[in-house]
Structure 1
Amino acid sequence: MAETSRRVALVTGATGGIGKAMAETLASDGIDIVVTGREPLAVRRIATELRSRFGIKVYPIIVDLAEEGGPERLFMQVASRGIELDYLINNAGVGVFGTFEQSLLADEVAMLRLNVLAPTILCKLFLPQLARRRGRVMNVASVAAFQPGPFMAVYYASKAYVLSFTEALATEWEGRGVTFTTFCPGPTRSGFQARAVMEHSRLVRGKLLAEADEVGRAGVSAMMEGRRVAIPGLANRLTAIAVKWLPRRWVSRAVMKMSAPDSTPLPAEAGT
C-alpha cells in the first residue's frame, strides 16, 4: 500500500514532451509520481529515470487511455495500490491533421476518447479523493481552444471542450478546496507533430517552437498558483485575445492559411 501522507501526482502522457517535463518538475519538489503511457518500455524508462534522479516513489502504469475503458482501468490500478492523489494532470493528447473529408473516422474517434473522454472520466473518478486532500487539477488544452481549426477541425474542437469544461469546474469548486487549471500551450517541440503527421504544415514547418521543458515548468507553476487559464508565451496570449474581437470567418480563414500543408492551394474568398 502506498504512503498516502506523501504528496502524489498523476501525469498522463508522461513519457515525453510536456508531460515528461511536468513529471520532472513535480519530482524535483519531492512529489511522488504516477506515470502513465501506452508504451511499456517508455513508461518503465521514465519511471527509472525519475527514481534515480529525484529519489521519489514512482508508480508506472501502462494503459491506453484512447481505448474504451482505459481511464477506468487507470483509476482502478491507482486505487489498488492504495494511492490517493493530490494532483491530477490530464496531459495526454493527440492530433489528427488533414481535412475532415480525408481524415479517418477511426483516428478521430480515438482522438476524442483521449482528448475529451479521458480527462472527463478521470476528473469524475478522482475528484472525491482530490477534495479530501484539497488537491489541484490541470487539464492541458491548447491555444487552439480559442478558435476553429481547419485542417485539424476535430482536434481544435476537442481542446475547446477541455477549456470550457475545466473553466466550469473551476467555478463550481471555487472556495471548496480543489483548484482547476486549463493550460493552453502553443506549438511546442515534442513528438506531437510527428504523431499527428503535420510536420509539413505551415503552422510548424520552419518555425521556432517552444521547448517542452520550459512549457512543462510553466504549466506546473500555473497549477500550483491555482490559475484558471494559463497561456505560456506572449504571442500565444495575444492570439487568444485577438480572436475574441475578430469576425469568426476571418479567424477561421487565417487559421487555415497558417495550418495548410505547403503545397495546398487555398480556396478564394467568396466574391473575389
Structure 2
Amino acid sequence: MQYALVTGAAKGIGKAISAELARRKFNLLLTDWDLEQLKISAAAIRQEYGVEVHEYVQDLSDAGAARNLKSWSFPYHDLLTVVVNNAGYGLNDPFEQLSIEEQFGIIDVNIKAQLAITHELLPVLRRKKSFLLNVCSTTVYQPVPYLAVYAASKAFVLSFNQSLRYELRGSTVSLSYLSPGSTDTDFVVRARMKPHTLKTAERFNMTPGAVAKIAIDGLFKGKEEIVPGFLNKLNARLPKFFPLPFIRKIAASIYEPRKAELQKDDKLKQSLIEEHLPI
C-alpha cells in the first residue's frame, strides 16, 4: 500500500486531507507540532479507515525540521507517492504591533519549511509516479493589509510553485498548489482574528472536508491550480479587473481591527501581565 506524508495534520484542512487520503487507502505519515491533537486525529483516522498511521511531532519553524522529517520517513520512501505541504499560519494585526520574531515565524513555516521539505523529498518522489501538493491561499491574489506577512508569504509560495511546476514538466512528479479561502478551522483562532472579521468569514466558510475532497480530486487529476468553491474562484479572478487601491481598501475593511477590539485586546493583555500569565 502506498504512503502519503502530510504536514500540519493535527487539525483543519491537514486533518481532512489526511482522512481523504486514508479513504482512498493510503497509509499515512503525519506531522504537526501539537502532539496531543495529532495523536487524537491519527487514532480517529486509523480506526475509521483501517490504514497505517504514523505520527511525528515537529515544529516546522525549527531550522532542521525538513531534514528531521526526511530521516523519520526514510523507512517508507520506497512507497511514498504523495507529499502534502499543508502547514502554515498567519497573524491578524497591524504590522508594527506584531513582534518581528512572530513575523519571522510565519516566514519560517509558510515559506522556509515548504521549500525545505519540497527540496528534501523531491528526489524521493522522482523515483516513481507521485504527487506533490503545496498549499497556498486565496490571499495570494491581492495585498491584504493587517494580514500582510501571511498574504505576502503565500504570494511567494504561489510564484515558487508556478515556476517549479514548469521545471517538473515531463517528470514523474505532478505538482499542484491549493488555494483555499475561508474555511471552518482553528486558523482564525491562532491568527487572533477579530470578531467582525470572523463574522465576515462565517458567511463564506467551507468545511475542511469539502476543501480536502476537491484538493485530492484535483491533485490526482494533475491539475495545476486548485481553488475550491465558486466564491473562492471568483475572489481569485476579480482583483485583476479592479484598481489596486480599491482592492486593497476592500481587503483592509475585512481585516482591520476596530478601535473597540484593540482596546479590548489591550485590557486582556494588561490583565494577563498583572496575573503573571503568558501573553
TM above 0.5, yes or no, is yes
* 2:227 aligned with 1:231: yes
Query: Structure 1 residue 55 and structure 2 residue 57: aligned?
Result: no
Following the alignment from structure 1 to structure 2, what is the Cα–Cα distance between the partners of residues 251 and 57? Answer: 46
Give the structure 2 partner of residue 251 of structure 1: 247
Alignment of 1:140-219 (within 5 A): 140-202=135-197, 204-205=199-200, 207-208=202-203, 209-219=205-215
Task: Count residues with an aligned counterpart.
Answer: 259
Ranges of 4+ aligned residues in structure 1 off by more than 6 Å: none
Q: Which runs of 5+ in 2 are unaligned?
A: 262-279
**Letter aligned with residue 243 of structure 2:** P
Q: 1:181 deviation in Å?
A: 0.8
> Counterparts in 2 of 1:24-39, with a 5 A limit?
24-39=19-34
Q: Is the 8 A contact 1:67 1:110 kept in 2?
A: no
When structure 1 is superposed on structure 2, of 49-58 and 152-161 the one drifting more is: 49-58
Structure that is richer in helix per residue? 2
Aligned to 1:83: 77
Deviation at 1:99? 0.8
Write the distance in 2 (CA, Å) between the matches of 1:42 and 1:206: 24
Shift of 1:210: 1.2
Q: Secondary structure of the equivalent of 2:212? A: helix
Unaligned stretches of 5+ residues in structure 1: 1-5, 266-272
1:138 counterpart SS class: strand
Once the two structures are superposed, residues 159-213 of structure 1 have per-residue CA deviations (whole angstroms, 9 ceiling, x without a partner) of 1111111111111111222111110010111000000100424364473211111
Give the whole-Å Cα distance in 2 for the aligned partners of 1:262 and 1:212.
Answer: 28
Whichever residue aligns with residue 120 of structure 1, its letter is: L
Say which SS state the counterpart of residue 95 (structure 1) adopts. Answer: coil
User: Does the 8 A contact of 1:202 with 1:262 survive in 2?
Assistant: no
Compute the displacement of 1:34 (Å): 0.4
User: Quick one: structure 1 residues 147 and 67, their matched pair in 2 at CA, closer, same or farther if it must change by over 3 Å?
Assistant: same
Question: TM-score normalised to the size of structure 1?
Answer: 0.91
1:57 & 1:214 partners in 2: Cα distance? 23
Residues 94, 196 of structure 1: 8 Å contact kept: yes
Is 1:46 the counterpart of 2:19 in the alignment?
no
Displacement, 1:153? 0.5
Structure 1 contact 138–183 (Cα < 8 Å) conserved: yes
**Residue identity (%):** 29
Alpha-carbon shift at residue 129 of structure 1 (Å): 1.3
The letter of the residue matching 2:168 is W
Instruction: Please say which of residues 200-209 and 132-141 is displaced more in the overlay.
Output: 200-209
> Given that residues 199 and 205 in structure 1 are in contact (C-alpha distance below 8 angstroms), is that contact kept between their aligned partners in structure 2?
no
1:7 aligned onto 2:5: no
Change (3 A) 1:263 1:234: farther
Residues 1:17 and 2:23 are matched in the alignment? no
Q: CA deviation at 1:83?
A: 3.2
Residue 93 (structure 1) aligned with residue 88 (structure 2): yes
Return the alpha-carbon distance in structure 1 between the equivalents of residues 112 and 42 of structure 2.
Answer: 26
8 Å Cα contact 2:12-2:186 kept in structure 1: yes
Compared CA separation, residues 172 and 250, structure 1 to 2 (3 A): same
Instruction: Output one character per residue of 1:126-164: Cα deviation in whole Å (capped at 9) or x when no partner.
Output: 001111122111111100011111001100001111111
Query: 2:117 and 2:162 mapped to 1: Cα distance?
Result: 16
CA offset digits 1:19-48 (Å, max 9, x no partner): 111000000111011011112222222222
- Indicate how the Cα distance of structure 1 residues 206 and 157 shifts in structure 2: closer, same or farther if over 3 A, else same: closer
In structure 2, relative to structure 1, the CA distance for the partners of 1:255 and 1:78 (3 Å cut) is same
For 1:41 and 1:203, how far apart are their aligned partners in 2? Answer: 26
